[in-house]
Chains A and B, each alone.
Chain A
Amino acid sequence: MKPVTLNAWLGIALLAAAAQPALAASRTLIAKDSEIAFSVKQMGVPVSGTFKRFEASIDLDSAQPTASRAELTVDIASLDTGDDDADAVALDKPWLDKLGFPKATFKSSAVRALGPDRYEATGQLAIRGKSREITVPFETQDEKDGSTWVRGSFTIKRVDYGIGGGEWNQGDLVAPDVPVKFKLKLAPVR
């Protein structure tokens, strides 16, 4: 058997050195390709919208998922349902109250792997000044250019965050659950 040469060892060491920090590096969000969307049912009709502006700081570590972390800040005023009247209601005080609470944030506390390219993040979601622990399953998909898609969805209960009080809470006019979908594109590791 041929002994492993010094060169090969060096090569492996170099690869490891290159790969290690790369995996844990913070990834830049490609905002134009990323999307955070939600949907609220009114009289059975899903009214969907997106947030146009948000920032994310994400460390994705596929080798050691538990070392991954994510922090997102959403600019509430950037909400867009495609309908000006609906936007105005959604941003008004009983709903998201953009003046009182201009930002919504998510900060992960733990990430665990569910399977290949499938993970689950647990963390605090704060909307309208109220913070709740949520669990967000997500999937990752690496692109050829080195960028990575992070896609997932979760559902929040409006009442947990005091979204949409008063007259809007009569009967079952507006569904209590709000499904949220996100796709984030992370730039290649530099």
Chain B
Amino acid sequence: MNQTAPLSSPDVRYGFVAQALHWLTLLLLIGSFSLGWWMTELQRSPLQVQLFAYHKWIGVTIFGLVALRLLWRLCVPPPPLPAAMPLWQRRIAAATHGALYALLFAVPLSGWLMSSAKGFQTVYFKVLPIPDLIGKNRELAKLLEDVHETLTTLMLVLVALHALAALKHQFVDRDDVLLRMLPRLRRS
């Protein structure tokens, strides 16, 4: 507990796998969110059908990646937080991370269910059909659409909070929290 390791020590940063999964998730989130925004503005068209497919494939990928990340986190615990960090901040950080993980599962799940309710199965990369848990149902589809949107908005808020907190650590607290998720660029 509360051990203070110098930044150069190997266990002060997340490992390569954890970092790669973190940044890949962000990249896919940006892609998926942009596609989601774009495709829902479009009229029904070939382009829209394609964008929906890509959006859904990315969603499935994110779901899988997050499962991997959690497994990885169990095997390789994250590096410790700075000793000076107050308990309330640790609690908020833990709660935010927990909520982000939950939403990274819940948003794709709600999207998959909504898609089933609308009568459009999810077929991963055109070849792997993901079974429909629920049948076609107009009212349920509308409800799940609201759920998917609300959860996405909530996730967006938390991602922003997460990023702002990281920037605050870097530029206000001037501790090494942000650097934990960055590859080693310099020797200190």
Contacts and interface: CB of A to CB of B under 8 A. Distances in A.
Do A and B pair up? The answer is yes
Interface of A: 42-48, 81-83, 85-86, 88-89, 167-168, 170, 173-174
A168 B49 CA distance: 10
Given A82-B138, A170-B46, A43 B119 contact: no
B127 A44 contact: yes
A89 B44 contact: yes
B44 A86 contact: yes
A83 B119 contact: yes
A47 B127 contact: no
Report the 9 A-B pairs with minimum CB-CB distance, sorted nearest first.
A44-B126, A43-B53, A44-B123, A85-B44, A82-B119, A82-B136, A89-B44, A45-B123, A42-B49
B46 A167 contact: yes
A49 to B, nearest CB: 8
B15 to A, nearest CB: 36
A83 B127 CA distance: 23
Interface string B38-69: 00000111100110110000000000000000
Given A82-B136, A82-B138, A43 B44 contact: no
A88 B45 CA distance: 11
Nearest to A169: B46
B56 to A, nearest CB: 9
Nearest to B128: A44
Interface string B124-142: 0111010000001010000
Interface in B10-56: 43-46, 49-50, 52-53
Chain A interface, DSSP helix/strand/loop, else mixed: mixed
A174 B46 CA distance: 9
B152 interface: no
Contacts of A85: 43-44
B110 interface: no
Q: Which of A45, A170, A174 has the most CB of B within 10 A?
A: A45
A45 B120 contact: yes
Given A88-B44, A89-B44, A46 B121 contact: yes
Given A45-B53, A82-B136, A168 B119 contact: no
B118 interface: yes
A43 to B, nearest CB: 4
Given A86-B44, A173-B49, A47 B123 contact: no
Given A45-B53, A88-B44, A82 B123 contact: no
